[in-house]
Amino acid sequence: MSINGQAYIAGAYEHPLRRAPDKSLAQLHAEVALGALADAGLSKDDVDGYFCGGDVPGTGPFSMVDYLNLKVRHADSTNIGGASYILHVNHAAQAITAGKCDVALVTLAGRPRSEGVPKGGLKRADSPVQPDYAWETPFGMTILNVYAMCAMRHMHEFGTTSEQLAWVKVAASHHAQHNPNAMLRDLVTVDDVLNSTLVADPLHKLDCCIVSDGGGAVIVTRPEIARQLKRPLVKIRGAGEAVKHTAGGAIDLTYSAGRFSGAAAFAEAGLTPADVKYASVYDSFTITVIVQLEDLGFCAKGEGGRFVADGNLIAGVGRLPVNTDGGGLCNNHPFNRGGITKIIEAVRQLRGEAHPAVQVANCDIALAHGTGGMLGTRHGGATLIMERE
């Protein structure tokens, strides 16, 4: 059964803080939940489905459903890292289509900046029970150096350059200058990226996303309820998800799970990349954006470096505006997970509520895509295609 047209995003809210030392993790989740409900014109007692990832305190949905005092008849805590929330909107739409819930709440929140949680350059806190642990962690594997190996291979196979990687950050900074809540608002040049510290060849410090506190939430609901609310209608047209891994040693670092999740989402939506006016694309690192744009079909495999160069991702300048909020590279990356902010900025664009300096004209179709986990080992990909009705 297709979810195309069966569910709408009725509410979206991004926490304004990027440093939140005086708020608890549960409080941040609650604040974004209530923000999204207020945006939709609904109350917490309307919620009958709750969706969360691995960033909630406690086991799965238990503690947050308790803290918020919700009455849910459907819950899902599937965890595919930073892409979880894009997957959750897909699962929420499926649950709504199947009659399992009417108003679904999806939340993400975190305070890694205040708690000093390790950044990507430090060792991952993977579990020694994982069957893959002893074959990766002892070699000093980090999020940073695994993504760096993907960039190195992309350069080798396709001639991608550090300058091309830098253009992804330059575009993010052009957008972030207009976002008063963005953590980094200064314009950055290609030279600024190339002159920043080399942290894991070929990646420089400015190729890496920020670490911020905060969070976001979205509300998904059925068409009859969405039409009773006073907000612009953002219809879900299609979604896809996939898991990519090391395949018994058949490693290919040049593509992501987005190859499969994107194709599934476009097929369900009955649309092609040429229909997309705005794209939110997970930007944990600059290389992540290039690989995903290729996998989603915005350009051919290997052409991503050339595609992002010369401002092609900058609103009002390039062919495909990407991450007009400043993305994870400049705006917000709470709990080291950016999936929810990708959905929220796409909703702003479809509603015509993005900052006027970055608002895409006639933005009727938008895409949000995420890669969660490790691009170079195992990760989840989730794609969501939405339409302004």
Partner 1 sequence: MSVLREALDHQPETKAFWSELAEGRFKLRHCRACERAHWYPRAICPHCASPETEWRPASGQGTIYSYSIARTTAEPFVIAYVTLAEGPTMMTNIVGSDFAEIAIGKPVEIAFGHQVEDGITLPVFRVV
The residues of the shown chain that bind partner 1, judged by CB under 8 A, are: 121-122, 128-142, 144-146, 148-150, 152-153, 156, 197-203, 246-251, 253, 376-377
Helix axes 84-97, 339-351, angle to 10 degrees: 60
Q: Which is nearer to partner 1, 121 or 316 (CB)?
A: 121
Shortest Cβ 2–partner 1 spacing (Å): 32
Alpha-carbon distances of 291 from 162, 286, 296, rounded to whole Å: 14, 9, 9
Shortest Cβ 157–partner 1 spacing (Å): 9
Shortest Cβ 93–partner 1 spacing (Å): 33
Q: Which is nearer to partner 1, 24 or 130 (CB)?
A: 130
Q: Which is nearer to partner 1, 203 or 234 (CB)?
A: 203
Shortest Cβ 238–partner 1 spacing (Å): 31
Q: Which is nearer to partner 1, 99 or 131 (CB)?
A: 131
Shortest Cβ 314–partner 1 spacing (Å): 29
Rounded CA-CA distance 4/385 in Å is 9
Q: Which is nearer to partner 1, 125 or 361 (CB)?
A: 125
**In Å, how far from its chain's centre is CA 97?**
24
Alpha-carbon distances of 106 from 155, 301, 340, rounded to whole Å: 37, 33, 8
Shortest Cβ 143–partner 1 spacing (Å): 11
Q: Which is nearer to partner 1, 116 or 138 (CB)?
A: 138
Among residues 205, 138, 126, 155, the alpha carbon closest in space to that of 378 is found at: 126
Shortest Cβ 135–partner 1 spacing (Å): 4
Shortest Cβ 189–partner 1 spacing (Å): 22
Q: Which is nearer to partner 1, 140 or 356 (CB)?
A: 140
Q: Which is nearer to partner 1, 182 or 203 (CB)?
A: 203
Q: Which is nearer to partner 1, 136 or 325 (CB)?
A: 136
Shortest Cβ 245–partner 1 spacing (Å): 9
